[in-house]
Amino acid sequence: MKKQLEQKRLKKKQEKAERKQERQESSQGGKLEDMLMYVDENGNFSSTPPIKKKEEPKTAAPNPRLNKKYWE
């Protein structure tokens, strides 16, 4: 009885290892770079990363309180 259960367990373990090996061999190989998708400023999907544009430095907005007094 114990030998039969041991054999069943070993057989199950071996079948599981074989299935795992088959999955690894038949997989497409998913590198992270292949799975990434980028979205451009128009909302279109692309497989290449967007070209970084040089941003202009942002100017600080004037204080609204000072601005209000100045214009009144």
Domain ranges of the chain: 1-25
pLDDT digits (tens, 9 = 90+) for 15-41: 999 999 998 888 776 677 777 888 888
Say whether pLDDT at 7 is over 80. yes
pLDDT of residue 37: 87
Both tokens of 17, joined, read: 């290892």
pTM above 0.85, yes or no: no
pLDDT at position 53:
73
| Range among 8-12, 27-31, 41-45 rated most confident | 8-12
